[in-house]
A and B are shown apart, each in its own frame.
Chain A
Amino acid sequence: MRDEALAGENVGGRAAGATRAAAARAPGRLGRDLRLVARLDLVEALRARWFAVYATVFGAIVVLLFVFGLTESQILGFLGLSRLLVTYIQICMAVLPIFVLITTVRSVVGDREAGVFEYLLSLPVSLGGWYWGRLLARFVLVFVPVLLAMAGAAGWAVLQDIPVPWDLFGAYTGLLASLAWCFLGVGMLISSLARSTDVAQGAAFSVWLVLVLFLDLILLGVLVQERVSSDIVVAVALANPLQVFRTAAMMLFDPGLVLLGPSAFVILDAFGKAGYLVWAMLYPATLGCVCAAAGYAVFRRGDLP
Chain B
Amino acid sequence: MIEVERCSKSFRRTQVLDDVSLVIPAGERAALVGANGAGKTTLIRCLLGEYECDGAVRLGGESPRAFRTRVLRRVGFVPQIPPPLKMPVGSLIRFAADLCGTDPRKIGEVAARLGLDVAALAPRAFSKLSGGQKQKLLIAVALREGVDVMILDEPAANLDPEARASFFELLARRDHGTTMLISSHRLDEVAALVHRVVEMDRGRVVLDDRIADSDALDARLRCRLELRREEPSAARVLREWGFRPTEAGTVWQGSVAAADRLRFFGMLARYSGLVADLQLRAGDGSDA
Using a CB–CB cutoff of 8 Å, the interface residues on chain B facing chain A are: 45, 48, 50-52, 62-63, 65-73, 75, 77, 79, 81-88, 91-92, 95-96, 98-100, 125, 138
Contact = CB atoms under 8 A, between A and B. Distances in A.
Interface of A: 3-4, 7-10, 18, 22, 29, 32-33, 36, 39-40, 43-44, 47-48, 114-127, 302-305
B282 to A, nearest CB: 37
A270 B96 CA distance: 53
7 contacts: A4-B67, A10-B67, A44-B85, A119-B85, A120-B85, A122-B50, A125-B99
A83 B37 CA distance: 63
Nearest to A41: B87
Nearest to B73: A124
A133 to B, nearest CB: 11
A9 B84 CA distance: 33
Given A122-B72, A123-B100, A48 B51 contact: no
A174 to B, nearest CB: 32
Given A9-B66, A124-B72, A126-B69, A304 B50 contact: yes
A123 B68 CA distance: 9
Nearest to B76: A122
B50 A305 contact: yes
A127 B82 CA distance: 21
A119 B45 CA distance: 10
Given A43-B88, A123-B99, A302-B52, A9 B70 contact: no
Nearest to B56: A9
A48 B91 CA distance: 15
A128 to B, nearest CB: 10
A145 B62 CA distance: 45
Contacts of B92: 40
A159 to B, nearest CB: 36
Contact of B66 (A7, A29, A121, A124): A7
A121 B83 CA distance: 11
A115 B83 contact: yes
Given A47-B86, A115-B83, A124-B100, A4 B48 contact: no
Given A47-B125, A119-B83, A36 B99 contact: yes
A117 B70 CA distance: 18
B39 to A, nearest CB: 14
B121 to A, nearest CB: 15
B83 A118 contact: yes
Given A119-B83, A302-B52, A303-B52, A127 B138 contact: no
A116 B86 CA distance: 10
